[in-house]
Amino acid sequence: MSEQAPYLSGLVLTDRRVVVVGGGGVAQRRLPRLLETGARIDLISPAITPTIEGLLGNPSLNWIQRGYVEGDLEGAWYVIVATDVSEVNDQVSTEAEGRRIFCVRSDDRSRATAWTPASGQHDHVTIGVLGGGDHRRSAAVRDAILEELRTGALGARDSVDKSAGVYLVGGGPGDPDLITVRGRRLLAEADVVVADRLAPQQLLEELHPDVELIDAAKLPRGRAAQQEEINRILVDRAQQGKLVVRLKGGDSYVFGRGFEEGIACAEAGVAWTVVPGITSSISVPAAAGIPVTHRGVAHEFTVVSGHIPPGHPDSLVNWEALAHLRGTLVLLMAVENLPEIAKTLIRYGRDASTPAAAIADGTLPGQHSVTSDLGGIAAAMADAGVGAPAIVVVGNVVAVADELRREAVRRTAEAAAE
């Protein structure tokens, strides 16, 4: 006889008692979503994982530090049993059956009265997939559905319950896969997108044909959209009742003038929300194999805008203080002024031999980099044709990364020779 199909249903567990027996990996995976439901959870186990221990600050989670005993399910609405002792799992599921409490078993789904689907959420939609016991298939189907929802390919765009206003979305360092899930969802729902040139350009190809796309590019020493005009457009379109996405590269609040746009919205009485992005100051060095901190090498890193040279009356940077730091210095928008910046740092005491690297087009297919030292990085960039946009990293972490690369090359050569 074939297995009967389960009946899918959404459980409302808010302020209802849920019992989880077992404190290992299965419980660790299930607890976060259970906590989101507002359930009162009793976790029964002699030991728990460090991650679960970190969840105990949530008042909805109570750890009963012992093994399961008969009667522990009194007053429970739902049970998950996830120990590695089959006899204990049998005892729990038997009690649950007698009390008519639905029970999930991690070890034997055929003896359970409930199964946990592969689930996920998009906006106000919850997806649950049961794949007949094939967990990988369930997860793959779930992920495919969620991706379609997030990109707007699944479901009518006009049916989305959208909130008019301005969303300041950080698009990440350039690779379209590095935008946040929420940022991508908002692009799928947008009526208007106001995009910088450093925003992930491939994402613009996915926009619905009806979306109004406004170019807000600011080219160095070239054409540039005025900030006042950008502010006016954001406010105007939002006041028309539209969902406006202001798409920037990196994070909107890291040298992106995002807060200025937020202030303009607030002064006009327009609702606005910031959606943080992955800042290029950390992610681009990482993509090039350079950690901005490393144990025993750098205990701090400083991110500095180099768009104004040292000594300029508008500069807010204390270059002398920066020169005295021992950690990593990350320079953004510094290509044009790098020769003067390097000279200034050296004059104030930073060793000219400090390792340095420059990474252009970080996280994109054309990413390229050059390494040198503080005294020679500007010339090395010019010789290698590394121009803006580029991130410059100054510090001993560059040498650590170079050593790791050399070691990898050596091992590859040795393996090829054998």
Q: List the catalytic residues.
A: 196, 218
Asked if 255 contacts 322 with a C-beta cutoff of 8 angstroms, the reply is no
Neighbour count for residue 410 (Cβ, 10 Å): 10
Q: Which of 302, 211, 195 is nearest to 252 (CA)?
A: 195
Q: How many CA atoms lie within 13 A of 282 on its CB side?
A: 12
Q: Are 167 and 245 in contact (CB under 8 A)?
A: yes
CA 152 to chain centre: 20
CB under 8 A, 24+ apart: contacts of 399-408: 399/355, 400/291, 400/294, 400/297, 401/288, 401/289, 401/290, 401/291, 401/357, 402/355, 402/371, 404/289, 405/289
- Partners of 294 in the β-ladder: 298
Distance from C-alpha of 249 to C-alpha of 28, rounded to nearest angstrom:
35
272-275, strands of its sheet edge to edge: 212-215, 192-195, 243-248, 165-170, 272-275
Number of helices (H), then strands (E), belonging to the chain: the values are: 12, 17
User: Please, are residues 174 and 363 in contact by the beta-carbon 8 Å criterion?
Assistant: yes
The label of the residue with tokens 């055929």 reads: 110
CA-angle at 124, arms to 28 and 273, nearest 5°: 95
The answer to whether the peptide bond before residue 46 is cis (omega within 30 degrees of 0) is: no
Q: Residue 58 has which token pair? A: 């949530």
Which residue reads 């729902």 in tokens? 189
Q: Which residue has the tokens 């996915």?
A: 206
- Output the six-digit token pair for 258: 């995002």
Give CA–CA dist 316/107, Å, rounded. Answer: 61
